[in-house]
Amino acid sequence: MNVLAVGCHPDDLEMNCGGTLAKCAARGDKVTMVTLASGNVGHKLYTKEEIAAIRLEEARASAKVIGADYICLGLDDMFVRRDYDKGVRMVSDVIRKVKPDFIITHGKDEYMVDHSITSTIVFDATMAATVKLFPSDYPEYDKFTPIYYMENTMLVNSFPDEFVDIGDTIDTKLEMFACHKSQIEWLKVHDDYDILAAVKNFARTRGYQCDTKYVEGFCLCKQAHHLPLKRYLP
């Protein structure tokens, strides 16, 4: 299957669905990881251009861990909603090229607007990708795509209804996230927060609830045309 995962910033996918993407890759799926924004405001020591370049290489290294493709669409951090229409066009193009069997992205009720807007952009892009006359250099995709929404950051106000046991890929998930060294450094300074340990703890929390070790949770998009006839998640 073709799997498309769309996050807002570099490291968002690793945090919330890295173990699931690793399982997808292991079962033979073609995985494409996309971020809308470049991560260009997430540091105190570098310029916007410098940190964007650093985070691009970190994201590529993370995707390489599982043999995934990585695409950065290059929008500015904190201004994704300003570029809403541009974002829909770009994600629509990615869908038309990748032809995903299903998509993973942010939920609509996140703690920051960049994440929440990404969710809506992706949803709108799944429609736009099927419309022949929507502006694009690529032919339309011939189907709507099921969407699975990742859990909210730190599991806050998050109530998943789909679960993936990532006990066999938790180490891969952490290896992927560890590639984002600049983000780990910045969150330590900005929030006094050990994000790598927290990522493991979040998966362990859901694991306790599911009577296993490590779990990632998702909510299926329940809208017309998007309801799958089978389970796509591992």
End-to-end Cα separation, the chain, in angstroms? 11
**pLDDT tens figures, 152-192:** 999 999 999 999 999 999 999 999 999 999 988 877 777 77
What pLDDT sits at residue 212? Answer: 98
Residue 226's alpha-carbon distances to 155, 222, 223, in angstroms, are 24, 7, 6
For residue 4, the model assigns a pLDDT of 98
> pLDDT value at position 186?
77
Arithmetic mean of pLDDT over the chain: 95
Contact 34, 98 (CB under 8 A): no
- Cβ(202)–Cβ(173) below 8 Å: no
Q: What angle do CA 22, 27, 32 make, to 5 degrees?
A: 50
Percent of the chain at pLDDT > 70 equals 100
Predicted structure pTM score: 0.96
* 119, pLDDT greater than 90: yes
Dihedrals φ, ψ of 25, to 5°?
-60, -40
